[in-house]
Structure 1
Amino acid sequence: MFWRGILGYLPVNIAQGVVGLLTIVLFTRVLSPEEYGGYALAFSALSLTQTLLLTWSEAAMARFFAARSEDGRLPDHFATLYRLWFGCALVIPVIAGVVLFLLPLAAPMKVALAAAFASASIKSLTKLSQERRRAAGEVSSAALLDIVQTVGGFLLGLILALVGLGGAAPLMGMGAISLLCLIFVLPTDLGRMRGGHFDRALARDYATYGVPVALSLILALVLATTDRFLLAAYLGEAAVGVYHAGYSLGSRTLDVVFIWLGMAGGPALVSALERGGAAALKDAAREQASFMVLLTLPAAVGLALVAEPLVELMVGESLRAGAIQVVPWIAASGWLAGVTTYYLLQAFTLGRRTPILIVAMAVPALANLVLNLVLIPRFGLNGALWATTASYGIGALAAWTLGQGAQPLPIPWRTLGKSGLGCVVMAVSVMAMPSPGGLQELILKAGVGAVVYGGIMLGLDVDGLRGKISGLIRRKARPA
């Protein structure tokens, strides 16, 4: 299931990567630093709202679909979850009213926040449909839904930005396209409730599992967004725009890889545990973790090595200088965050020990808040970068330690060591290359780094890599 998902979700990964980079390239040029900073703050508000109220139901849809398939209660599953979702979604207009009418915000910021609140429920309802497809192994339809939202939302948001809607434009674009997708997918999904009934026992199980997941994600968002709000308070929205440009370039480049692996890996781990028990889970988890390390560690190191030519190419001139210093630090933070979110924290959802998730995320979130409050006033942007990287390191250690008591997952230490050695050799090779600047330097250094690292890993045949690549090629070439 994992490798089928890896192949099936590859187009999604490509679309998200291209759109993520184009978002930075174009929006940092079309929007002013203040408008881009307003968009960053409003998007953070969207994420916080969706996570606080609705993400728990999305998590329950993904985690319990296999179990309900086994016991034949899928109609009850859908009836219970959708009714819970609609009840929670009614709270969003109340929150929006309080924020928009009571807080002394500038008009452009209010418009951006209004778009964020409107998009939150729409995106979540579409996410429910997507999680159902992923859990059912419907890779093609889940991938198509994601691609339409990603590409369509970006294109519409860009058009709206060009006509002068400022920081609200990207949010309006993603919300409108998600609404269009719902017209096609929602009737079918609601039809799955036919014959089902709201079950209080199921609702209690889903809430017991999902609410701690949502709370832990809230803490993850606090960890990811605290620095922006504190930078805005101490240095202004323009500083947030600079920080967010570099942060987005660094984290988004890695996120698309981790999200791709998570799309395939999460359902595969649940399926392995539900159908094969702890032994099957251990084998599946070790395979996924090894592949994750081999793919993402060199990506993070390589991103730090090519930060300057990448920023010169991708980021608008008004945000460029500050973004260059942001990217290397965020490459390190992004790798730690990705490994934690898409592997280490799976221990709690697989073991249904989600209340411990709150503790696992509270540790780095609190560390991030304290470190930002101490470092930003004294060191400005650098303080935020140091605080972020240190906090994600603390978070990875906390997740691994606490996860041992929930559902222990293997750490591929040998693969990690070999990959680290390959990254060191890659870094030495890349740093020895000339620096002509711009696209030429980016292609030269990225190419050399990929060839050197790939050659070392294939030469060592780490985890039987040569055989796995041959198997993937044969599977992809096999007629449908």
Structure 2
Amino acid sequence: MLRDSAIYILSRVVPSGLGFVTGIALTWLLTPEAYGIYGLGLTIVVLVAGIFFDWHGLSFMRFFQANADNPRFMPTVVQTFVLLCIASLVLVPLVLLVAAEIAGAFGAAGKDYRLLIAIALPGCWAYAWFELAARVQVAQFRPMRYFWMNLTRNLLILGFGLAAAWAWHSAYPVLAGGFVAMLAAGLLFRIPHLSLMPRRFDPEMARRLFAFGWAMALVRALGSASFAVDRFLLETLIGTDAVGFYTAAYQLAQTAIVTIGAGIGSATYSLAVRAVESGDLGAVNRQLSRNSTLLLALLLPASIGAAMVSPTLAKLLVGPDYVGPVANLTAWMALGAFFTGFRANYLDHAFQLGHKTHGLLKVTLVTTTVNIVLDIVLIPRFGVVGVAIANLISGATGMCYAAWAARAVMPMPIAWRDAAKIAIAVLAMALFLWPFYGRGALPALAAAVFGGAAVYGAALLALDAMDLRGVLKRRLARFS
């Protein structure tokens, strides 16, 4: 599990590093308002994917292990994807244009979103196709192909996006270039047994995919709506430049944390599914306990570390027009990413593995409601920082509620002894990082990053968290 997890994390971290470079470089090539339009385009993609496609990918992951040898399974999955594209083509432009008219009634009048929608909707199809092709590699336990897929995509986005920004200084060609890159990468790594022949479509399998996924569709829709409402409320109440600041801060503070969580989740979820399919409850509990410990050991120090070095990164990396607003946002957003990441990549798995996805719907509804209410209350008072505070509070609320609700579905064990050791190691790291907080010099940043990692690793080893000393002895013994 450690090897595959490491590859999956690298499959996210390395390409995400390229995405980070792309996002930060764009702050030097686009005005805050143009960057805000770029952020709104990405928001539309996340929203449409959450409503139409994310449940489909999750259903595929849940049923692949039991249907890998069924010759009609993958054609059914692919043809269902095409039907979802058609449904989104019919519904999305109408809904988003109506929403724009409503926003106009509250102060955003005069803004035309038709070009943005025309670019973002096909972009969503490209994004969703890439994610489906990537999930195929994960389900088949092919981490290296998953790595090369993500690396190819982000290299192409870096090249296309920066070239478009340099040539036109407009968000629209940047978005279009990124979406073309996604489609090209998805098509380079083909899905096996792909067929659009109607006779290969299995209605019963499609029904099973939907029966599992309908609640997940609502879950993803609510989660995506919460993500989108943040941006559109900023657009309506403050302005497009506020969306630009928030998007830049997200790239700076949350990209690495989300990447780590998703990388671990990619590796551990398929292993948990395999354990559940085996019917061995002991094996399930052992696997889930390892999953939670690994996620906590990487996600918590990443979140605390990012909160403490992100203000420095803002001073060093983003364009001059962005520095002040982004520096004020980053710590809040980094801490909020921990609660959201632990819930999404561990606690939420209880409802998927236990086929009780309606329970996850309740969790998401509570989280989204808290987030939207706090947005409405805090944005007028604190501006763009109010969104970051709302995300932190709603993320913590959602994680706590998910932990409580999961008990009725499937036990989600946590090795509390190791968790305590991890917390102590993170505290030691935070104490080391404290003197570096907010410093704008590159040597201080390097000392904070490398020194903090060294302190955390040494503390874990001293406390023997996760039997780390035993693992190292066994690994070293292989080379002796």
**TM-score using structure 2 length:** 0.91
Whether the 8 Å contact between 2:309 and 2:448 is mirrored in structure 1 is yes
Indicate the residue corresponding to 1:361 in structure 2.
364
Q: Say if 1:215 and 1:358, in contact at 8 Å, map to a contact too.
A: yes
Identity %: 26
In the TM superposition, residue 139 of structure 1 has moved relative to its aligned partner by: 1.9
Aligned residue identity for 2:46: S
Match in the other structure for 1:64: 63
Match of 2:201 among 198, 201, 204: 198
- One-letter amino acid of the counterpart of residue 390, structure 2: A
Q: Post-superposition shift, 1:223?
A: 2.7
Shift in Å at residue 366 of structure 1?
0.4
**Residue type at the aligned position of 2:80:** L
The 1:434–1:176 alpha-carbon spacing in structure 2 relative to 1, beyond 3 Å, is closer
Residue 450 in structure 1 maps to residue 453 in structure 2? yes
Judged with a 3 Å threshold, the aligned counterparts in structure 2 of structure 1 residues 348 and 235 are, in CA distance, closer, same or farther, namely same
Is the aligned partner of 1:219 residue 2:222? yes
Which residue identity does 2:160 align to in structure 1? Answer: L
Structure 1 residues 25-424: aligned runs within 5 Å: 25-69=24-68, 72=69, 74-95=70-91, 97-98=93-94, 103=100, 109-164=113-168, 166-186=170-190, 188-191=192-195, 197-424=200-427
One-letter amino acid of the structure 2 residue matched with residue 88 of structure 1: L
For residue 317 of structure 1, give the secondary structure of its aligned residue in structure 2. Answer: coil
**Number of aligned residues:** 472
Shift of 1:35: 0.8
Aligned residues of 1:100 and 1:114 also touching (Cα < 8 A): no
Aligned to 2:105: none
User: Does 2:11 match 1:12?
Assistant: yes
Mapped to 1, the partners of 2:25 and 2:438 lie a distance apart of 25
Structure 2 CA distance for partners of 1:361 and 1:176, relative to 1, 3 Å: same
Q: 1:182 to 1:241 in 2, by over 3 A?
A: closer
Counterpart CA distance in 1 for 2:476 and 2:110 is 54
On the 8 A contact 2:309/2:437 being kept in 1, the answer is no
Q: CA deviation at 1:258?
A: 1.0
Displacement of 1:165: 5.6
**1:263 CA displacement:** 1.7
136 and 235 in structure 1: CA distance in 2 versus 1, 3 angstrom threshold: same
For 1:45-69, what per-residue CA distance to the aligned partner results, in whole angstroms no more than 9, with x for missing partners? 1111122112222112111010113
SS at match of 1:398: helix
Could you say what the CA RMSD is over the residues aligned between the two structures, in angstroms? Answer: 2.5
Contact 1:75 1:195 in 2 (8 A): no
Task: Determine if contact 1:304/1:331 at 8 Å carries over to the other structure.
Answer: yes
Q: Distance in 1 between matches of 2:357 and 2:268?
A: 18
Structure 2 residue matching 1:54: 3-state secondary structure: helix
Q: Secondary structure at the match of 2:355?
A: coil
* Counterpart residue type for residue 33 of structure 2: E
- Structure 1 unmatched ranges of 5 or more: none
The answer on whether the counterparts of 2:312 and 2:441 sit within 8 Å (CA) in structure 1 is yes
What letter is aligned with 2:79? R
2:465 paired with 1:462? yes
Aligned partner of 1:317: which letter?
Answer: P
Unpaired segments of 5 or more residues in structure 2? 102-108
- 1:364-413 deviation line (CA, Å, top 9, x unaligned): 10011111111211222232222111100111011111111222211232
CA–CA distance in structure 2, aligned partners of residues 295 and 469 of structure 1 = 18
Q: Give the conservation status (yes or no) of the 8 Å contact 1:226–1:368.
A: no
Residue 473 and residue 237 in structure 1: after superposition, are their counterparts in 2 closer, same or farther (change >3 A)?
A: farther
Q: Is the 8 A contact 1:251 1:334 kept in 2?
A: yes
Residues 1:229 and 1:269: Cα distance change in structure 2 (over 3 Å): same
Larger deviation: 434-443 or 54-63?
Answer: 434-443
One-letter amino acid matched to 1:148? T
**Once the two structures are superposed, what CA deviation does each residue of 1:344-366 show, in whole Å capped at 9, x if it has no partner?**
10111111111221111000100
SS in 2 for 1:16: helix
Whole-Å separation in 2 of the counterparts to 1:97 and 1:433: 48
- Larger deviation, residues 96-105 vs 285-294: 96-105
Letter in 1 for 2:42: F
Q: CA, structure 1 residues 474+34, in 2 after alignment: closer, same or farther (shift >3 Å)?
A: farther
Contact 2:436/2:445 (CA < 8 Å) preserved in 1?
no
Q: TM-score, normalised by structure 1?
A: 0.91
More off after superposition, 349-358 vs 142-151: 142-151
- Cα deviation digits, residues 63-93 of structure 1 (max 9, x gap): 1010113xx4x21212322222211210222
* C-alpha displacement of 1:29: 1.0
